[in-house]
Structure 1
Amino acid sequence: MSDATPTVAVVDDDESVCRALKRLLRAAGMASASFGTGDALLAALDENDAAWRPDCIVLDVQMPGINGLEVQRRLAGTDMPIVFVTAHDDPAVCDTALAAGAAAYLHKPFDDEVFIGAVRAAIARVREAP
């Protein structure tokens, strides 16, 4: 794994969740940027073209505007790993996300160590890919 500080995009419509995840990521040595909607993340990626690219995206499933599965679909082929977080337990949504390549699918509330482990594993998988 590279020595560069990983950057994680946190996408959740609950501002308190974004703040908590940003603190947790910072404590684990990662930088982060938060977005309240999937539309905002996609706009930031488009606006910055290739100048800004997170090492991982932590993505809520249900949000205003486009949902997390649609964001995942639009980012297909970018090699940005996605860790889904959700308060809704829907096995069909979980299956769809994982089948489309999600690195992990976690139910809120989740254990901090499990979350950080999932993010680190997702980043490592992409950094170690040929």
Structure 2
Amino acid sequence: MSASRQSVAIVDDEESVGRAIRRLLKSAGIDAVAFASGEAFLKALHTTPPYEPACVILDFQMPGLTGLDVQQRLSGSGLPVIIITAHDEPRVREQARAGGALAYLCKPFDELDLIDAVRSVLDGDPDA
């Protein structure tokens, strides 16, 4: 998938959340693909040809692999990670940041904050 480099992966077990984020990003001119589990997302990364998103938005709390589990499996891949969660806990926030998350947003989050975080990755300025 050569065009997938500008695509954003959304991994959230709540399909309605994945759809809403995909629509939000689309309204901002950003292509996105939603996955209902960490396992489905990781499998897509290993398909032929592989799915190669520009970044991934990970829900923290999911059945099976959590967002932090997926983040750990991506360690060293260089794939930028944005964590979203409805359960803000200092320990989780610290783990996400220590694992290299570029942003940590609590649901419900400000839509512009998410768009800004994604744009900073796509524009090549993760510190913006």
Q: TM-score, normalised by structure 1?
A: 0.88
The answer to whether the Cα contact below 8 Å between 1:7 and 1:33 also exists between their aligned partners in 2 is yes
State the match for 1:42 in structure 2. Answer: 42
- Distance in 2 between residues matched to 1:126 and 1:39, nearest whole Å: 29
Give me the whole-angstrom Cα distance separating, in 1, the residues matched to 2:63 and 2:20.
20
Q: Distance in 1 between matches of 2:77 and 2:125?
A: 11
Matches within 5 A, 1:1-130: 6-48=6-48, 51-125=50-124
Deviation at 1:41, TM superposition (A): 0.3
RMSD: 1.8
Flag structure 1 segments of 5+ consecutive residues without an equivalent. Answer: none
Deviation string 1:21-76 (CA, Å, 9 cap, x unpaired) is 00001011111111011011001111235x32000100000101111111001001
Partners of 1:11 and 1:36 within 8 A in 2: yes
Cα drift, residue 122 of structure 1: 2.7
> What is the count of residue pairs matched by the alignment?
123
* 5+ long unaligned stretches in structure 2: none
CA contact (8 A) 2:9 2:53 kept: yes
Contact 2:10 2:34 in 1 (8 A): yes
Q: How does the TM-score come out when normalised to structure 2?
A: 0.89
Say whether the 8 Å CA contact 1:81–1:123 is kept in structure 2. Answer: no
Q: For the Cα contact (< 8 Å) 1:5–1:30, is it kept in 2?
A: no
Q: CA contact under 8 A between 2:5 and 2:53: conserved in structure 1?
A: no
Give identity over the alignment, percent.
47
